[in-house]
Structure 1
Amino acid sequence: MDGVATFETVLLLLAAVVALHALALKLRLPPSAALLVGGGGLAFIPGIPQVSFDPELALVLFLPPLLFEGAYYTAFGRFRRHLPGIIGLAVGAVVFTTVIVAEVAHMLLPELPWAACFALGAIVSPPDAVSARAVLQHVTLPRRLQALLEGESLLNDATGLTLFRFAVAAAVSGTFSGGAAVGSFAMLAFGGAAVGWVVGRLGVFAVKLLRDQTLIVTTTLLLAWTAYLAGEALHVSGVIATVAAGLVFGWHQHVVMPARVRIQGSAVWRTAVFALEALVFILIGFQLRAIVDRAGGLQEVVSTMSGPVLCVLAAILVARFLWVFGSEGVLTALRKLGLKVARPLGPAQATVMAWTGMRGVVTLAAALTLPAAFPGRDFLQITAFAAILVTVILQGGTLGLLIRLVKPRDTDPPPQVSLPEAEAAVAHAKLAAAEARAYDADGQLIHPQLLDQLRGRARATDRYAAEPDGFMDGIQSHFEVLLAAIAAGRAELIRLHREGRIEDEVLHDLERDLDLEEVGILFQRGAQVDLR
């Protein structure tokens, strides 16, 4: 396929992404499942060009920005507080699932070498960050559960990819050392964290030096690939390096990044992440045709592989339930013995945790990198695709229903300062700063209207903090008037432009001011405005 044909195919895929995503929203289906199924269906249409991608390129292209963006917006305080539980899932659950899947695969297919069985387990064991965020952004979860799932999705790819590389090396060389594997994983993890910290700090330094907002936003995009490629070049975990860089940069961006850059950057990142996530799922769907053809056709796959594949899928689901509820049992027993290392999640949250385990791009990319002569290659690739298809559609499609059924409650202690109280504190800080600057050297008040406005705002936030529900009921009409006034101003601005009475530059400048004013009001009103 030449360059022009490749570009035309990418445009076709983007058009399919828009159509399938819009259809999924209309039918209230998970967009990731619609894209996955739609991509698989499109791949079998006669005349549609076969789309393939280099799996190593796919990891480098898609994984770093999605991991970086997820880490950038991670609630770092909760991430740090629940790090032991996150590591338990990202390392313990992945290793446990790998072992269970390997045992089941070897029992079903004794002719398959143990190294190949462990490679299969490593391929299908890590829940995918892309799949997880695609599903979690459409549901509401308790804070601790959200932190555990987000943290797991950021770190477990490193575990799965490390296990996979050791298993492939063992299958090729015929030797394996458990002690060497543990030591190597520790070096990869700590080395990746160190590289990511350095890249994150360099990003913060660069933002301080740069003045142009477009250059700053571009730099944030480059940080993701810089961290990943630097980690891989230094033979440590590029995944952990990317996550660490995102956490460091996300922690400091509130201080070093101007507000206008944050708004522009959020819009850029949101569009980029949407496009990358959507392309990942539709490309995964497109790989179905090539994988099935290599395995001998659909009839051959169904007749010879369906039984073992279904057993492996069952093992994946059962292994996660065993790990989650086994961990619950251990925590409960420790608390009864007086060791309050952590609170159990409880049956409702544990059920939701056990049901979240969607696989995605890392699983497919790892499967596609298997050498041509690798034992059981066709079976491993078919199983990998089936794991993605079943977990995204079955688990991702029913997660919302499960949450509504079990109703997990947020058992974390409430924050020391609530949102209304924090807003009141900010308003009083603004008022104090304005009062200190509202008078000239002779004590003459020179900004009376501004001072009255900020005092009114402080009084309003005090009432809001005292009685949030009652205050918001009364303030909604106030916001509606402001929004109507902005709409009228925008209509007048457009009328003047259409009549040729103002230049385009005037239109853009004043429209930007109205847009920022409207976004601020929508945030205050509590509307679901997401600039990410």
Structure 2
Amino acid sequence: MDGVQTFEIVLLLLAAVVALHAAALKLKLPPSAALLVGGGLLAFIPGLPPVELDPELALVLFLPPLLFEGAYYTAFGRFRRHLPGIINLAVGAVLFTTVVVAVVTKMLLPELPWAVCFAMGAILSPPDAVSARAILQRVKLPRRLEALLEGESLLNDATGLTLFRFAVAAALSGTFSAGAAVGSFAMLFFGGVAVGWVVGRLGVLAVRLLRDQTLIVTTTLLLSWGAYLAGEMLHVSGVIATVAAGLVFGWHQHVVMPARVRIQGSAVWRTAVFALEALVFILIGFSLRAIIDRAGGLEDVVGSMTGPVLCILAAIVAARFVWVFGTDGFLRLLKRLGVKRARPLGGRQATIMAWTGMRGVVTLAIALTLPAAIPGRDLMQVTAFAAILVTVIVQGGTLGWLIRRVKPEDGDPPPRVSLPEAEAAVAHAKLRAAEAHAYDAEGKLIHPQLLEQLRGRARATDRYAAEPDGFMDGIQSHFAVLLIAIAAGRKELIRLHREGKIEDEVLHDLERDLDLEEVGILFQRGEQVDLR
């Protein structure tokens, strides 16, 4: 394809993304599953040129911004508190699944070398960050479970990619050293943390120096790719570097980034992440045609690979259940023996945890990088696609139903300060600052209306903290009137503009003020206003 055809295909894919996503929302289906299936069907349209997902480009284009954005919005306190559990999933579960898949593959196909079997396990073992994001953002989970799954999705790709590289090297060379592999993995991990910390700190410095908000938002986008490429260039984990940079930058952004930049940046990132996630799934679907063609056609794939693929998929699901319930049983044993820090999930949360093993772009991308000379390449690529298709559609599609049936309980202790109490503390801090500056040098009150407004706000938040439910019931009508007033103001503003009485600049400025006021009211009403 020439450049114009490529651009036309990209436009077609974006149009398909909008249509499939809208249809999925209308039918209350997981959008990721609709995009995956839709992409697979589009790939077989007669006359449409084949679209292949370049594996190296996929990793460097899609993975860094999605990982960075996930780390940026990660609750760092919970991430740090649950880090042992996250490592257990991101390293332990991935290693265990790799071994299980390798053993099952060797039993099914004894002619394959062990190194190839372990390469199969490394391809299929890590649940995907993109798939996890697409599914988890549509369900409500207990805080601990959410922290564990978010943290796992950020770190497990590094484990899977590292295992894959060692397995492929062993398959091609015929040699393998466990000691060297462990040492290399440690260097990749901690080197990635160091590189990510440096890139994150450089991003914080750039925000302090830059004044233009568009430049700052652009810099945040560049940080994700910069961290990943820097890590790969220095031969450490680019995935870990990206995650570390996102955590560092997300921790400091509350202090260094102006509010207007956060609002603009949230909108830009939300749009970029939506487009990237959607394109990932539809491109994965599109890759089905090329995979089947390479494997000899649909009849050969169905006839010769169905049995092994189904057995390997069953092994993937079973391995996660065994690991999750096994480690949870071990924690229960430690708790009975008096180990206070042992906190098992319990059967309900463990069931949800075991079922959330969706695969995605990393699984397919590393499968597509397999050298042509490696034995079993076609089977590995077909199995990789099947794993994505089954886990996203079956596990992802039923996760919400399973959560409603199981009803996992939040076992985390309640926060020391509740939301109403925190809001009251903020209101009183604002009042104290205003009282200190509301009088001139002679002691004359110069801002009486502002002071009274803040005092009223402080009294209202005190009542809210004392009785949240009763207070919100009484104030909803107040917010409703404010929203009606804002709508009337916006209608009048548009009328003035349509009649040519005000310029576009005035329209945009006053409309922005009304928008910010409306968003503030929606937040106070407790509605979900996702500015990401």
TM-score by structure 2 length? 1.00
Map of 1:360 onto structure 2:
360
Q: Secondary structure at the match of 2:52?
A: coil
Aligned length: 532
Supply the distance in 1 between the matched residues of 2:340 and 2:424 (Cα, whole angstroms). Answer: 36
Map of 2:39 onto structure 1:
39
Supply the distance in 2 between the matched residues of 1:214 and 1:194 (Cα, whole angstroms). Answer: 28
Map of 2:422 onto structure 1:
422
User: Which AA in structure 1 matches 2:452?
Assistant: D
Structure 1 residue 53: Cα displacement: 2.7
Q: Is the 8 A contact 1:194 1:241 kept in 2?
A: yes
1:160-309 aligned at under 5 Å gives the runs 160-309=160-309
Which ranges in structure 1 are unaligned for 5 or more consecutive residues? none
Q: Secondary structure at the match of 1:22?
A: helix
Q: Is the 8 A contact 2:53 2:284 kept in 1?
A: no
Map of 1:495 onto structure 2:
495
Structure 1 residue 341: Cα displacement: 3.1
Map of 1:118 onto structure 2:
118
1:134-153 aligned at under 5 Å gives the runs 134-153=134-153
Structure 1 residue 488: Cα displacement: 0.5
Q: Is the 8 A contact 1:292 1:298 kept in 2?
A: yes
Identity within the alignment, %: 86
Map of 2:319 onto structure 1:
319
Structure 1 residue 335: Cα displacement: 1.1
Q: Which runs of 4+ in 1 moved over 2 A?
A: none
1:305-384 aligned at under 5 Å gives the runs 305-384=305-384
Give per-residue Cα distances to partners, 1:207-230, cap 9 Å, x unaligned. 000000000000000000000000
1:26 and 2:26 equivalent?
yes
Q: Is the 8 A contact 1:195 1:230 kept in 2?
A: yes
Q: Secondary structure at the match of 1:296?
A: coil
Map of 2:156 onto structure 1:
156
Supply the distance in 2 between the matched residues of 1:258 and 1:264 (Cα, whole angstroms). Answer: 10
Structure 1 residue 338: Cα displacement: 1.4
Give per-residue Cα distances to partners, 1:10-55, cap 9 Å, x unaligned. 0000000000000000000000000000000111111122111320
Structure 1 residue 373: Cα displacement: 1.4
Q: What is the aligned-residue RMSD (CA, Å)?
A: 0.5
Q: Is the 8 A contact 1:155 1:240 kept in 2?
A: yes
TM-score by structure 1 length? 1.00
Which ranges in structure 2 are unaligned for 5 or more consecutive residues? none
1:127 and 2:127 equivalent?
yes
Q: Is the 8 A contact 1:191 1:236 kept in 2?
A: yes
Supply the distance in 2 between the matched residues of 1:528 and 1:194 (Cα, whole angstroms). Answer: 36
Supply the distance in 2 between the matched residues of 1:387 and 1:369 (Cα, whole angstroms). Answer: 17
1:401-420 aligned at under 5 Å gives the runs 401-420=401-420
Q: Is the 8 A contact 1:331 1:341 kept in 2?
A: no
Supply the distance in 2 between the matched residues of 1:144 and 1:527 (Cα, whole angstroms). Answer: 23
User: Which AA in structure 2 matches 1:438?
Assistant: A
Supply the distance in 2 between the matched residues of 1:88 and 1:412 (Cα, whole angstroms). Answer: 18
Supply the distance in 1 between the matched residues of 2:473 and 2:335 (Cα, whole angstroms). Answer: 44
Map of 2:91 onto structure 1:
91
User: Which AA in structure 1 matches 2:458?
Assistant: A
Supply the distance in 1 between the matched residues of 2:28 and 2:182 (Cα, whole angstroms). Answer: 44
Give per-residue Cα distances to partners, 1:443-474, cap 9 Å, x unaligned. 11111111110000000000000010111111
User: Which AA in structure 2 matches 1:325?
Assistant: F
Map of 1:479 onto structure 2:
479
1:108 and 2:108 equivalent?
yes
Supply the distance in 1 between the matched residues of 2:106 and 2:163 (Cα, whole angstroms). Answer: 17
Supply the distance in 1 between the matched residues of 2:297 and 2:414 (Cα, whole angstroms). Answer: 56
Map of 2:505 onto structure 1:
505
Supply the distance in 1 between the matched residues of 2:24 and 2:230 (Cα, whole angstroms). Answer: 38
Q: Is the 8 A contact 1:348 1:407 kept in 2?
A: yes
Supply the distance in 2 between the matched residues of 1:186 and 1:199 (Cα, whole angstroms). Answer: 20
Structure 1 residue 337: Cα displacement: 1.3
Give per-residue Cα distances to partners, 1:170-204, cap 9 Å, x unaligned. 00100001111111000000000000000000000
1:457 and 2:451 equivalent?
no
Map of 2:516 onto structure 1:
516
User: Which AA in structure 2 matches 1:338?
Assistant: G
Q: Secondary structure at the match of 2:138?
A: coil
User: Which AA in structure 2 matches 1:217?
Assistant: V
Structure 1 residue 267: Cα displacement: 0.1
Q: Secondary structure at the match of 1:372?
A: coil
Structure 1 residue 340: Cα displacement: 2.5
Q: Secondary structure at the match of 1:373?
A: coil
1:391 and 2:391 equivalent?
yes
Structure 1 residue 90: Cα displacement: 0.2
User: Which AA in structure 1 matches 2:162?
Assistant: T
Q: Is the 8 A contact 1:119 1:168 kept in 2?
A: yes
1:49-68 aligned at under 5 Å gives the runs 49-68=49-68
Q: Is the 8 A contact 1:86 1:151 kept in 2?
A: yes
Q: Secondary structure at the match of 1:303?
A: helix
Map of 1:7 onto structure 2:
7
Q: Is the 8 A contact 2:90 2:153 kept in 1?
A: yes
Larger mean CA deviation between 217-226 and 336-345 belongs to 336-345
Q: Is the 8 A contact 1:101 1:120 kept in 2?
A: yes
User: Which AA in structure 2 matches 1:236?
Assistant: V
Q: Secondary structure at the match of 2:51?
A: coil
Q: Is the 8 A contact 1:321 1:355 kept in 2?
A: yes
Q: Secondary structure at the match of 1:74?
A: coil
Q: Secondary structure at the match of 2:480?
A: helix
Q: Is the 8 A contact 1:328 1:344 kept in 2?
A: yes
Give per-residue Cα distances to partners, 1:461-493, cap 9 Å, x unaligned. 000000101111111111111111111001000
Supply the distance in 2 between the matched residues of 1:433 and 1:289 (Cα, whole angstroms). Answer: 64
Q: Secondary structure at the match of 1:341?
A: coil
Map of 1:69 onto structure 2:
69
Structure 1 residue 342: Cα displacement: 2.4
Q: Secondary structure at the match of 2:61?
A: helix
Supply the distance in 1 between the matched residues of 2:309 and 2:497 (Cα, whole angstroms). Answer: 63
Supply the distance in 2 between the matched residues of 1:366 and 1:505 (Cα, whole angstroms). Answer: 50
Q: Is the 8 A contact 2:38 2:285 kept in 1?
A: yes
Map of 1:440 onto structure 2:
440
Supply the distance in 2 between the matched residues of 1:495 and 1:337 (Cα, whole angstroms). Answer: 73
Q: Is the 8 A contact 2:126 2:157 kept in 1?
A: yes
